[in-house]
Amino acid sequence: MKPRIVSLLALACLILAFAFIAAAPAAPNKANLPATPAASAPATPAATPAEKHPEIREALESLRRAKAHMEHAAHDFGGHRVEAIEATNQAIKQLELCLKFDKD
């Protein structure tokens, strides 16, 4: 019963992490924006900072906390804990790449 609970916990963490990614609003496609002449555009700062993506950052922190809990678990749960930790590491890696990719 306990291995199943750990597996379900790991699966729930991964689902939540990817749900945060799917729920995050997408940036508008620059190719679909209407062209405006530069002369009629109002003065704006030279560069706007990239989005912070709080949902992805929150998912990262949740996964890191879940990983720490799994690493300090009292039992091995028949190897399922190790697999859950590896899956969590992959999810963390993907979210970090997601944030790194959004540097435009």
For 75-95, what is each residue's pLDDT tens digit?
878 889 999 999 999 999 999
| Domain chopping of the chain, boundaries | 2-25+51-101
Q: What is the pTM of this model?
A: 0.50
Angle value at C-alpha 6, between 59 and 53, nearest 5 degrees = 5
Residue 58 makes CB contacts below 8 A (sequence gap 6+) with 20
Q: Give the CA distances from residue 61 to residues 3, 51, 92, in Å, rounded to whole numbers and listed in that order.
A: 24, 18, 9
Q: From the centroid of its chain, how far is CA 66?
A: 14
Q: Are 59 and 95 in contact (CB under 8 A)?
A: yes
Read off the tokens for 64: 């890191």
Q: What percentage of the chain carries pLDDT values higher than 70? A: 60
Query: 66 pLDDT band (50/70/90 cuts)?
Result: very high
